[in-house]
């Protein structure tokens, strides 16, 4: 209708709509897969799937071995596109199946699916001849599997099922290629009957069978080593490949693999040490010669096998829908890789194309209507067949129609897109009503595959319906949208420039007007980046108000938030924007370019460049430093001590010589201190002679004829240089001559001077100083150190041992420094004696922890740092009998005003216990320390009570020559009118009645 302008009226558009064909050629969503079906299974079914997406819906046909499947036969049923075969039969149903999907756009072929029948026959009825193996040598038993399809898996069992042969230190191996059983080193107990057990796995069932017995007899013989077999194979790229290898030998050989012409792939993993080399996901780099090596202590043997890698076809370039004009040329290309190299042929509507084909190139000259349909490029080698599809079709707006409603703002511009799906390329037209649109000052029609229509300087008069028409030789289509003109959006109050200090809040205003029929939204951007105004924890917040107000609140402003802020008010048809600048004043930024120069022993010069002042002048600088001896960054002393804000250099003073330092510079202004500069490179100050002497000078002790001098090693910060050591000077007290010695180890803390002429415990004056490569430091103060002592030569005299209690004794002697008391029980060896040490000029010592009624022997020895002297003559003492182990009983008390009287029964000693001479009462008021009260011979005590309502804690025990007996503990509270009775530790309080006396 559009070929003649005179025909532009309503009937023409009706004609166009009537000739519009909306169709889709078939595209496979599911294709058939090969099936292995058990032979002889008559009641089962096989389903070969085939489903295609198409408009109108596809119809289906099946071919087997190139001929049509008779779907009318009751054994064949078509369910949607799926072919169901009932009771498949070997001989009549086996073969290659292919599905054809077709509609009026054309026909396509599926991939080929094979229906094969699986079977496993029984083993031959004849058993194999008995086999003989020699002890220590290898052997194998042949499986001789029966006829079968597909491949089998193999196992062997011994004597009785299911005693399967299991790996035994690498002696046994079952090949999954031949099924044979291999034995690396025969042993006497291997003599048995062996059965080959085979299993076949099919898609819907599994079948197994086993052989007749294979008799193996093991006889004595000599050891050997021999690789029995490797396997050579080809591999399929992307699949897993295995090589097998096994060896005979005694001891049982170990196996390892290598790649002769390169490195063994790392993916071989643990299988590189074993009979089966597994290589997953094969690539062409894995192709080559592989060697299996068997080795034991008797020798080695090798064998090689080659892996050739092949590949299924894979598309490198596929065909796609082309957009060409009628009567022009159509070119399609498809490229496939594979090994062997794939062959390529072409199909149209499922039929082979022989003309206009050159391998992977299809050229159709002078394209005509009868050339439309479904095209397929087919690549195949012996491993697989793959298909690539394309379609020549009529125009179609279903997937991408013109927008139904296109709003636009007055004075603006709008773009209407026309993107029909079509091949070959359609011719496109735009109309408004019945007016065919052409390029003008207001309309720009771009006749491209996208069919874009631009309308500029929009007014109310441009409202209406706009239709895009598409046409090629296969058909026509159209799509219509409505243009609606709205009022333009305008900014009525633009944001103003602002200036704040860091951490202050600021509000940027933004108001706008818009078409009231549409929603208005505001967005803000900072330096072009859109802001998130919905995060309640963020710094940016929307100010709630009328729809036409979009103010922005910035909370706790930071230096990073300075910059340009843009407000955009927008509707679905247009937008308007306005911007303002925000200045944030804050502490200075970090200084830059920090360098260290002119490093001396205790100072260094620093230079830097000014950082950003962040809109507030820099007032001063502070220099920070750290060293291995400091726990962190600290403020350094500088020259000048106060560094002005306009300075760019200063000298750091007060450094330690021969020390590593890093420095930072921090600038500050009236708003605070900024971030530190980047750390300087590490510098080491110059070396200098030590300035302090080592501390902790002392010594003494050691072996005879030795003078030991000790000190505290100097810390790293005081060494001031390398080549560090110590200089010792010592002399006998009052001697004019000093002996000087050098100790070169910085970690040294001890020096031993040996001289056979040294007197024992002779006083020496000692001093020490440090030195390094730059010189010597000052001497320390003089310390007095004694040479080593000699062991005491005289035993203590006048030894006296007295028993104090059943558990203690007291030992006395004439004065001698540093004594050791040795004591042991009668009938014990002196070598096992216990010891007690004393110091100084003590002449007595108490020895506790003794046993009651026990005879002890005691000696006293003098000791010093050189050792122990001779023992004194032995003294003998017997400890006293033990005190009663029973506490006072029947304890009770009576309160009288501010006093309490406590009574108890007398404790009678047994024959083997010491007599009771009296009682000890330990009492304590609440909040006071303990007090002792001793009343000999009495069985009562009167004590004061606390003035408040506190309590008294009592502890009552007997005492005598054997010591203190067991204690009775009780608590007495202040409560007049109460009397307490304590029986064996259980205290009972009772209200006293007037008619009862104290005894009751």
Which of 64, 151, 132 minimizes the C-alpha distance to 99? 64
Domain spanning 24-118, CATH class? mainly beta
Question: Domain 800-878, what fold?
Answer: Immunoglobulin-like (2.60.40)
Q: Is 487 exposed, middle or buried (0-12, 13-18, 19+ CB in 10 A)?
A: middle
Cα 541 to Cα 554: distance, rounded to the nearest angstrom: 7
pLDDT value, residue 617: 95
- 284: alpha, beta or left? (left if phi > 0; alpha if psi -120 to 50): alpha
CATH architecture of 123-229+236-294: Sandwich (2.60)
Contact 291, 303 (CB under 8 A): yes
Which of 676, 682, 677, 678 minimizes the C-alpha distance to 662? 682
pLDDT value, residue 348: 87
Please check the confidence at residue 223 and state whether its pLDDT lies above 70. Answer: no
Cα 747 to Cα 749: distance, rounded to the nearest angstrom: 6
Instruction: Give the HSE-up count for residue 127: Cα atoms under 13 Å, Cβ half-sphere.
Output: 11
Q: Which residues contact 749 (CB under 8 A, 6 or more apart)?
A: 710, 711, 712, 713
Higher-confidence position of 167 and 616: 616
pLDDT value, residue 796: 86
Percent with pLDDT over 70 in the chain: 89
pLDDT value, residue 425: 74
Alpha helix ranges (H) inside 525-588: none
Percent with pLDDT over 90 in the chain: 38
pLDDT value, residue 393: 63
Question: Domain 695-787, what fold?
Answer: Immunoglobulin-like (2.60.40)
pLDDT value, residue 325: 55
**Hey, which residues does 153 pair with through a beta bridge?**
199
Q: Which residue has the tokens 């898996």?
A: 153
Domain boundaries, the chain: 24-118, 123-229+236-294, 318-389, 405-486, 490-585, 592-685, 695-787, 800-878, 889-973
Q: b/e per residue, 449-485, with b = 16+ CB within 10 A? A: eebbbebeebeeebeeebbbbbbbbbbbbbbbbebeb
Cα 596 to Cα 388: distance, rounded to the nearest angstrom: 70
- What CATH homologous superfamily does 405-486 map to? Immunoglobulins (2.60.40.10)
Joined tokens for residue 540 = 């940016």
Contact 426, 450 (CB under 8 A): no
Cα 772 to Cα 761: distance, rounded to the nearest angstrom: 34
Question: Domain 490-585, what fold?
Answer: Immunoglobulin-like (2.60.40)
Joined tokens for residue 17 = 């709509």
| Cis bond before residue 193 (omega within 30° of 0) | no
For 753-772, the three-class secondary structure string (H helix, E strand, C coil) is EECCCCCCCCEEEEEEEEEE
Please check the confidence at residue 820 and state whether its pLDDT lies above 60. Answer: yes
SS3 category, 460: helix
pLDDT value, residue 899: 84
DSSP 787: -
Instruction: Give the HSE-up count for residue 908: Cα atoms under 13 Å, Cβ half-sphere.
Output: 2
For 839-873, the three-class secondary structure string (H helix, E strand, C coil) is CCCCCEEEECCCCCCCEEEEEEEEEECCEEEEECC
Q: b/e per residue, 588-618, with b = 16+ CB within 10 A? A: bbbbeebebeeeebebbebbbebbebbbbeb
Q: Which residue has the tokens 């594979």?
A: 338
| pLDDT tier, 931 (very low <50, low <70, confident <90, very high otherwise) | low
Cα 107 to Cα 53: distance, rounded to the nearest angstrom: 12
Contact 683, 660 (CB under 8 A): yes
Averaged over 289-297, what is the pLDDT? 90
Contact 893, 903 (CB under 8 A): yes
**Hey, which residues does 650 pair with through a beta bridge?**
606
Question: Per residue in 875-920, pLDDT tens?
Answer: 898 999 999 989 999 988 888 878 888 899 888 888 888 988 888 8
CATH architecture of 592-685: Sandwich (2.60)
Domain spanning 889-973, CATH class? mainly beta
pLDDT value, residue 450: 65
**Hey, which residues does 242 pair with through a beta bridge?**
278
pLDDT value, residue 993: 34
| pLDDT tier, 697 (very low <50, low <70, confident <90, very high otherwise) | very high
**Hey, which residues does 861 pair with through a beta bridge?**
820, 871
Averaged over 644-658, what is the pLDDT? 96
Own/partner long-range contacts of 847-851 (Cβ < 8 Å, ≥24 apart): 847/808, 847/809, 847/810, 847/811, 847/821, 847/823, 848/807, 848/808, 849/807, 850/806, 850/807, 850/808, 850/809, 850/879, 851/806, 851/807, 851/825, 851/879
Cα 181 to Cα 26: distance, rounded to the nearest angstrom: 54
123-229+236-294 matches 800-878 in fold: yes
| pLDDT tier, 988 (very low <50, low <70, confident <90, very high otherwise) | very low
Please check the confidence at residue 209 and state whether its pLDDT lies above 50. Answer: yes
Mean pLDDT comparison of 380-389, 692-701, 882-891, highest-scoring range: 692-701
pLDDT value, residue 131: 87
DSSP 93: T
Listed range (81-90, 183-192, 393-402, 753-762) with the worst mean pLDDT: 393-402
CA torsion sign for 783, 784, 788, 792 is: negative
pLDDT value, residue 22: 55
- Phi first, then psi, for residue 187 (nearest 5°) are -125, 155
Please check the confidence at residue 567 and state whether its pLDDT lies above 90. Answer: yes
pLDDT value, residue 995: 33
SS3 category, 559: helix
Q: Which residues contact 923 (CB under 8 A, 6 or more apart)?
A: 930, 931, 933, 943, 952, 953, 954, 955
Mean pLDDT comparison of 42-56, 210-224, 355-369, 513-527, highest-scoring range: 513-527
Question: Per residue in 421-451, pLDDT tens?
Answer: 776 677 888 888 888 887 776 777 655 556 7
Averaged over 574-590, what is the pLDDT? 95
Which of 127, 134, 129 minimizes the C-alpha distance to 217? 134
Please check the confidence at residue 4 and state whether its pLDDT lies above 60. Answer: no
Higher-confidence position of 793 and 294: 294
Question: Domain 318-389, what fold?
Answer: Immunoglobulin-like (2.60.40)
Which of 42, 95, 92 minimizes the C-alpha distance to 65? 95
Question: Per residue in 593-629, pLDDT tens?
Answer: 999 999 999 999 999 999 999 999 999 999 999 999 9
Residue 529: CB atoms within 10 A of its CB come to 10
Please check the confidence at residue 321 and state whether its pLDDT lies above 70. Answer: no
| pLDDT tier, 936 (very low <50, low <70, confident <90, very high otherwise) | low
| pLDDT tier, 762 (very low <50, low <70, confident <90, very high otherwise) | very high
Higher-confidence position of 392 and 56: 56
Cα 156 to Cα 64: distance, rounded to the nearest angstrom: 41
| pLDDT tier, 399 (very low <50, low <70, confident <90, very high otherwise) | low
Please check the confidence at residue 557 and state whether its pLDDT lies above 90. Answer: yes
Averaged over 372-395, what is the pLDDT? 84
| pLDDT tier, 318 (very low <50, low <70, confident <90, very high otherwise) | confident
Query: What is the average pLDDT score of the chain?
Result: 85
| Cis bond before residue 240 (omega within 30° of 0) | no
pLDDT value, residue 92: 84
pLDDT value, residue 711: 97
**Hey, which residues does 755 pair with through a beta bridge?**
none
pLDDT value, residue 394: 56
Listed range (181-185, 490-494, 726-730) with the worst mean pLDDT: 181-185
Question: Per residue in 857-869, pLDDT tens?
Answer: 898 888 777 778 8
DSSP 186: B
Listed range (413-417, 748-752, 983-987) with the worst mean pLDDT: 983-987
End-to-end CA distance of the chain: 137
Joined tokens for residue 115 = 């229906």
Please check the confidence at residue 138 and state whether its pLDDT lies above 90. Answer: no
């Amino acid at each position: 209708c559009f070929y003649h302008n005179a025909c532009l009226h309503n009937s023409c558009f009706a004609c166009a709509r009537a000739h519009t064909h909306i169709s889709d050629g078939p595209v496979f969503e599911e294709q058939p897969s090969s099936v292995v079906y058990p032979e002889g299974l008559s009641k089962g079914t096989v389903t070969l799937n085939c489903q295609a997406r198409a408009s109108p819906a596809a119809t289906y046909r099946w071919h087997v071995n190139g001929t049509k499947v008779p779907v009318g036969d009751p054994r064949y049923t078509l369910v949607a596109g799926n072919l169901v075969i009932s009771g498949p039969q070997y001989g009549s149903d086996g073969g290659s199946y292919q599905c054809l999907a077709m509609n009026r756009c054309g026909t396509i072929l599926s991939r080929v699916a094979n229906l094969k029948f699986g079977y496993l026959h029984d083993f031959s009825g004849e058993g194999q001849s008995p086999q003989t193996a020699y002890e220590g040598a290898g052997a194998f038993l042949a499986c001789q599997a029966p006829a079968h399809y597909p491949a089998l898996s193999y196992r062997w069992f011994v004597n009785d099922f299911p005693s399967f042969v299991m790996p035994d230190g690498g002696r046994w191996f079952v090949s999954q290629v031949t099924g044979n059983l291999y034995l690396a080193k025969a042993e006497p107990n291997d003599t048995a009957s062996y059965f080959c057990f085979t299993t076949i796995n099919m898609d819907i069932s599994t079948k197994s069978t086993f052989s007749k017995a294979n008799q193996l007899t093991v006889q004595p013989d000599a050891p050997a080593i021999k690789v029995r077999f490797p396997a050579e194979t080809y591999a399929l790229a992307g699949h897993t490949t295995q090589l097998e290898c096994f060896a005979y030998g005694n001891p049982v050989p170990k196996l390892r693999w290598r790649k002769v012409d390169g490195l063994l792939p790392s993916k071989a993993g643990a299988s590189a040490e074993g009979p089966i080399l597994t290589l997953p996901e094969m690539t062409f780099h894995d192709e080559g010669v592989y060697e299996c090596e068997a080795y034991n202590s008797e020798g080695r043997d090798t064998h090689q096998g080659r892996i050739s890698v092949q590949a299924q076809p894979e598309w490198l370039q596929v065909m796609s829908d082309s957009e060409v004009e009628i009567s022009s040329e159509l070119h399609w290309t498809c490229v496939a890789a594979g090994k062997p190299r794939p062959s390529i042929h072409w199909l149209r509507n499922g039929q082979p194309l022989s003309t206009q084909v050159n391998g992977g190139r299809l050229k159709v000259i002078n394209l005509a209507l009868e050339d439309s349909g479904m095209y397929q490029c087919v690549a195949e080698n012996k491993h697989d067949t793959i298909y690539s599809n394309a379609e020549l079709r009529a125009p179609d707006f279903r997937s991408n129609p013109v927008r139904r409603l296109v709003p636009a703002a007055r004075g603006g511009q709008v773009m209407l897109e026309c993107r029909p799906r079509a091949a070959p390329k359609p011719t496109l037209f735009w109309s408004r009503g019945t007016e065919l649109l052409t390029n003008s000052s207001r309309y720009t029609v771009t006749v491209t595959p996208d069919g874009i229509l631009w309308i500029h300087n929009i007014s109310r008069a441009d409202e209406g319906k706009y239709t895009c028409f598409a046409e090629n030789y296969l058909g026509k289509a159209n799509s219509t949208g409505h243009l609606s003109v709205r009022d333009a959006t305008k900014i009525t109050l633009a944001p103003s420039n602002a200036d704040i200090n860091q951490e202050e809040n600021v509000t940027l205003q933004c108001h706008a007007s818009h078409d009231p029929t549409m929603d208005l939204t505001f967005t803000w951007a900072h330096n072009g980046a859109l802001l998130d105004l919905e995060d309640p924890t963020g710094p940016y917040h929307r100010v709630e108000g009328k729809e036409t107000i979009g103010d922005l609140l910035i909370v706790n402003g930071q230096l990073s938030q300075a910059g340009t802020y843009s407000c955009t008010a927008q509707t679905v048809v247009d937008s308007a924007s306005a911007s303002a600048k925000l200045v944030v004043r804050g502490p200075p930024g970090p200084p830059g370019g920090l360098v260290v120069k002119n490093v001396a022993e205790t100072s260094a010069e620093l230079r830097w460049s000014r950082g950003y002042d962040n809109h507030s002048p820099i007032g001063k600088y502070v220099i920070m430093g750290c060293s291995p001896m400091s726990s962190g960054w600290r403020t350094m002393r500088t020259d000048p001590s106060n560094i002005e804000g306009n300075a760019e250099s200063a000298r750091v003073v007060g450094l330690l010589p021969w020390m590593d330092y890093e420095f930072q510079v921090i600038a500050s202004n009236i708003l605070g201190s900024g971030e530190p500069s980047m750390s300087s490179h590490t510098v080491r100050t110059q070396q200098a002679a030590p300035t302090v002497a080592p501390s902790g000078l002392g010594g003494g002790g050691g072996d005879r004829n030795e003078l030991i001098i000790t000190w505290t090693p100097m810390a790293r910060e005081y060494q001031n240089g390398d080549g560090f050591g110590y200089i010792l000077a010592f002399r006998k007290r009052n001697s004019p001559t000093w002996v000087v010695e050098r100790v070169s180890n910085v970690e040294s803390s001890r020096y031993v001077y040996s001289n056979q002429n040294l007197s024992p415990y002779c006083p020496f004056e000692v001093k020490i100083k440090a030195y390094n490569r730059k010189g010597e430091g000052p001497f320390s103060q003089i310390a007095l150190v004694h040479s080593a002592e000699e062991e005491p030569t005289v035993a203590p005299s006048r030894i006296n041992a007295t028993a104090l209690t059943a558990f203690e004794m007291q030992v006395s002697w004439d004065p001698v420094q540093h004594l050791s008391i040795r004591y042991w029980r009668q009938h014990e060896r002196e070598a096992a004696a216990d010891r007690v040490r004393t110091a100084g000029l003590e002449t007595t010592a108490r020895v506790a922890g003794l046993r009651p009624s026990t005879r002890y022997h005691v000696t006293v020895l003098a000791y010093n740092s050189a050792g122990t002297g001779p023992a004194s003559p032995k003294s003998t003492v017997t400890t006293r009998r033990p005190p009663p182990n029973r506490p006072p009983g029947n304890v009770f008390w009576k309160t009288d005003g501010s006093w309490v009287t406590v009574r108890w029964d007398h404790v009678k000693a047994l024959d083997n216990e010491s007599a009771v001479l009296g009682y000890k009462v330990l009492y304590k008021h609440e909040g006071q320390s303990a007090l002792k009260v001793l009343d000999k011979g009495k069985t009562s005590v009167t004590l004061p009570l606390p003035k408040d309502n506190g309590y008294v804690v009592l502890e009552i025990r007997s005492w005598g020559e054997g010591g203190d007996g067991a204690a009775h503990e009780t608590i007495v509270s202040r409560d007049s009118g109460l009397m307490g009775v304590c029986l064996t530790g259980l205290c009972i309080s009772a209200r006293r009645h007037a008619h009862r006396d104290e005894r009751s």
